[in-house]
A and B are shown apart, each in its own frame.
Chain A
Amino acid sequence: MAAIAAPGVDYVSQAVGKARRQRGMTILIVVVMFAISAFFLLPFAWMLTASVRTEGSLLADPATLWPTVFTLDNYAEIWRRIPFGRQLVNTVFFAGAVTVISVTLNSMAGYALARFDFPGKNVAFLVLILTLMVPIEVTFVPLYNIISNFGWIDTYQGLIVPRMASAFGIFLMRQFFIALPKDLEDAARIDGASEIRIFLRIMWPLAKPAVLTLGMFSLLRNWNDLLWPLMVITQQDMLTLPPGLAMFKGDNLTEFGLLMAGSVVALIPMVVAFLFVQRSFIEGVATTGMK
């Protein structure tokens, strides 16, 4: 404030100094962030190098990230050592089916909780919130019993059916639908549109960002899951990739190259899917935290 009254102050050099400090700060942050990013990306970089190196070269020179030997043998071999192709198909089918079905069922339930008035609504919502808090591990033992009573061990339905709806998904969709203006469907109702039609034609298209976020969450969770397939599946032929590779690791404690080649192939689809939707997905995740 005092500066305004003092004519001697050199505003230009002050501003230049400030801009220079700002630029110095930006450069510093960029350098630090590159170092941090390197740490976050290191396992992926290492996976790639290890997958194109031979066992001998890896053990002889473990410190380098740059492969001194280059071979694609690991990528050819992994298909022969475990039913990799079959496990890849299993993973695609399991994660794909669960995602399509669960997004549909969760958004229907979330929509009803957000947009309809009906007896039992508050109780239903309260139960939903409580379900969110329960660590899922607690249900494992009885879940295993149900699946085996149904004769669903080592089947796709055993993997898929229990995952067709989730409290998290319903909650996410409810939070989205409840924020939409009420007049939308009232207008359609007065025009005599059926509830199904209102949902499919008006509300569902509006929910696209939420559907995308939830769909991506579901795809990631199921594609990446380790414990769930490990419980329901006992045959190698029916496993998905993460547990399939984990079992390969257990039997072959030193074949790093093969294991990493399999890992790279298993990770690529999700990384590509994520890169495609990253902007809207990250935005979707950011808004879930603000509720």
Chain B
Amino acid sequence: MRILPAANSSRPSRGLSGSKAWRVTSKTRQAFTAWMFIAPAGVIIAIFVFWTLFESLKTSFTDDSGFGSANWVGLANYVALLSDPRFLNALANTLVYAAVVVPVSIIVALGLAVLLNRPNLPFRGFFRVAVFLPFVTSLGISSMAWWAMLNPHAGIIPAWFEVFGLSLGNGIQDPALAMLFVMIVGVWRDVGFFMVMYLGGLQSIPKELRESAQIDGASPWKSFWNITWPLLANTTMFVGIMALVFAFQAFDQIYIMTGGGPFFRTETLVLYIFSTAVERYQLGYASAISWVLVLLVFVVSLFQVGYFSKRTVQY
């Protein structure tokens, strides 16, 4: 192959001389092309994500109330949060919700994936679709069905409990049960999505590993704990972070089923942000709450990544 100096080849001929000449003349052109490919999406994200993030951080240090000009108040919003019982309650609810929903989702998803991973299981496709279906339907809409099903007068679930002589109290309006119900709906909705990820993870485990364990006489339980579970670490990390982000952002089913009630028992941070910003126009204060949420997600994800990075698997 001949090497042409770039300066002499303003129009490199095709074929033979093309490769090298192309590289030399087109470095800047390629950079330009790359940025042209990125630009349309980049502009949208720059305006509607980066700019808004920056604005929201700025707003959290002001007393912006949607009307007139906003005054810089420093850390006042953040300080006020510390003694706001409604914020502390929402924070506690968010943490409790995540602490239950994340591990339960992971365990149920993994259990279902292991059951459905048998290649010759009859109705396998049907089961997979049934469990995945809640994930493709609007949580806002399916929550209306759950809300009606848990209605103490017209709901089918309290009615079934009554058949067995059990009482569900006030159904979805029961202060002691409301949180449990929104948690169940949260798990119900996302577990199919996580199950599919685990099915992908199970498929990527080399078959010989489990087969050789079987030949060595390991019990299914033992081979699960010593082979399958550690080899699924990558998937578990991914699922864990997704489940956590979903849990910290829980909104739809709570908004529809309880509206944060009864007596703020199910009000999470996102619901509190929504009501502070949309219903009370305290934009500065709402922004401060949302940055606490960002911080929370960030810190817990870092812990998760730290935990799993020691257990990453590479084949």
Contact = CB atoms under 8 A, between A and B. Distances in A.
- Tell me, yes or no, whether A binds B: yes
Interface of A: 26, 29-30, 32-34, 36-37, 39-44, 46-47, 50, 58-59, 62-65, 105-106, 108-109, 111-113, 116-119, 121, 124, 131, 133-146, 161-162, 164-167, 170, 186, 189-192, 195, 199, 220, 223-227, 230-231, 241-243, 245-246, 249, 254, 256, 259-260, 263, 266-267, 270-271, 274-275, 278, 282-283, 285-291
B275 interface: no
B256 A246 contact: yes
A58 B148 CA distance: 11
A111 B204 CA distance: 26
Interface in B156-195: 156, 158-160, 162-163, 188, 192-193
A226 B151 CA distance: 22
B201 A290 contact: yes
Interface in B53-77: 53, 55-56, 59
Contact of A270 (B33, B137, B290): B137
A59 B235 CA distance: 46
A135 B55 CA distance: 15
A192 B287 CA distance: 52
Given A37-B131, A286-B200, A289-B201, A111 B293 contact: no
Interface of B: 14-15, 18-19, 22, 30-31, 33-35, 37-38, 40-42, 44-45, 47-53, 55-56, 59, 112, 115-116, 118, 120-123, 126-134, 136-142, 144-149, 151, 153-156, 158-160, 162-163, 188, 192-193, 196-201, 203-204, 234-235, 238-239, 245, 248-249, 251-252, 255-256, 270, 273-274, 277-278, 283, 286-287, 290-291, 293-294, 297-298, 301
A233 to B, nearest CB: 12
Contacts of B294: 134-135, 138
A33 B44 CA distance: 44
B145 A263 contact: yes
B112 A36 contact: yes
B268 to A, nearest CB: 10
A241 B18 CA distance: 56
A224 B301 CA distance: 27
A195 B197 CA distance: 34
A274 B204 CA distance: 25
28 contacts: A29-B118, A33-B127, A39-B188, A108-B38, A108-B40, A108-B41, A109-B41, A112-B37, A112-B38, A117-B34, A133-B298, A138-B53, A141-B287, A142-B52, A142-B56, A167-B49, A241-B138, A242-B141, A246-B255, A246-B256, A260-B145, A263-B141, A263-B142, A275-B129, A285-B196, A286-B197, A287-B200, A290-B200
A224 B37 contact: no
Contacts of B142: 43-44, 47, 263, 267
Contacts of B127: 33-34, 36-37
A141 B51 contact: no
A137 B156 CA distance: 34
B251 A62 contact: no
A274 B252 CA distance: 21
B235 A282 contact: no
Contacts of B153: 59, 62
